[in-house]
Amino acid sequence: MTLQEYDYVRESPSKLAASCLLLALTMRNLGGWTPTLEYYSGYCSHDLHPLVKRLNFLLTYQPHDKLKAVRTKYSHRVFFEVAKATPMDMLKLEEILKS
């Protein structure tokens, strides 16, 4: 979805991928950012927090009237229906990221 949003052009692809992974781990309650992830990504959890919040905001307030191809594609079971995932409450996400 970030490919369709001009605001994410300035983010490095590696930081964007790491932030997406951290958001996915948080949304699915699969743990946090481990030392192994920090080592191999080169990003500490604290560096990713602002981008993780922006990504969750994008999921929460996505426009439903245009650019439906990506959402439709990733709503299919082949892609584990990830486009249907419910975004996190912003306050809850903030609490989890702080801990």
Domains in the chain: ranges and CATH: 2-98 (1.10.472.10)
| Amino acid 19: pLDDT | 97
Alpha helices by DSSP H, the chain? 13-27, 35-41, 45-60, 69-73, 90-98
pLDDT tier for residue 65 given thresholds of 50, 70 and 90: low
* Structure tokens, 68: 């439906």
Radius of gyration (C-alpha) of the chain in whole angstroms: 14
pLDDT for 5-24, tens place per residue?
889 999 999 999 999 999 99
pLDDT for 68-93, tens place per residue?
888 889 899 999 888 888 899 999 99
Say what the pTM is: 0.86
